[in-house]
Amino acid sequence: MVEVIVGVALTAVLGGLLVPLVKGILDRRSERYSSSLALVDTLAASLWEYWKLALRVAYYGRQGPRGAEGLEIALGRWDSDDSWNMGSAIQIQLSRSRRLLPPAAHQELAQSQRNVVDYLDREIDRLRVSAEPDDWSKLYESLMIETRSAIDALLVRVTRQLKIGRIPYS
């Protein structure tokens, strides 16, 4: 009889305390994982859209006179509210990452983001004043090689730090 009472009491304690505790832990992990995925997805979309805007400007700029109309349209899009909103979305995700990443990883992300976005802003502002097609070609090549790799590496590092995705940890 005592064994039955102890068994019932133990079941009640475990069921009443342990199960909600474990469920709470699993719910918090699931919420953090979902937040991490949303962070990486939004950051990736914003960075790649921003990169594509810059690439379009450089593409038409390198064509010289025959690309003049396309360059004006691309620069208009670069200066548009949509472009500014992309920059804002990048900053929002950077701020959000502060709550999900360890401080050192957040600092690395912030620096990498500045390196990409500030580089694009600076170069387009510099070149739009008096660049020759060769200058735009250099930017285009840089975007296709270095900047593309920098964005990819940035997203891989963030994904690793958040321990999400199927990226091999080396």
Angle of helix 19-61 relative to helix 68-78, nearest 10 degrees? 150
Average pLDDT over the chain reads: 85
Q: Please give the pLDDT value at position 3.
A: 78
- For the cut 90, the answer to whether the pLDDT of residue 169 exceeds it is no
Tokens of 65: 């006179």
Give how far the C-alpha of residue 162 lies from the chain's centroid of Cα atoms, to the nearest Å.
12
Tell me: the pLDDT tens digits for 106-147?
888 888 888 888 889 999 999 999 889 999 999 999 999 999
Mean pLDDT calculated for residue range 16-29: 65
Q: Please give the pLDDT value at position 14.
A: 64
Encode the chain in three state secondary structure. Answer: CHHHHHHHHHHHHHHHHHHHHHHHHHHHHHHHHHHHHHHHHHHHHHHHHHHHHHHHHHHHHCCHHHHHHHHHHHHHHHCCHHHHHHHHHHHHHHHHHHHHCCHHHHHHHHHHHHHHHHHHHHHHHHHHHHCCHHHHHHHHHHHHHHHHHHHHHHHHHHHHHHCCCCCCCC
Global pTM value: 0.79
The length of the chain in residues reads: 170
Tokens of 34: 């979902």
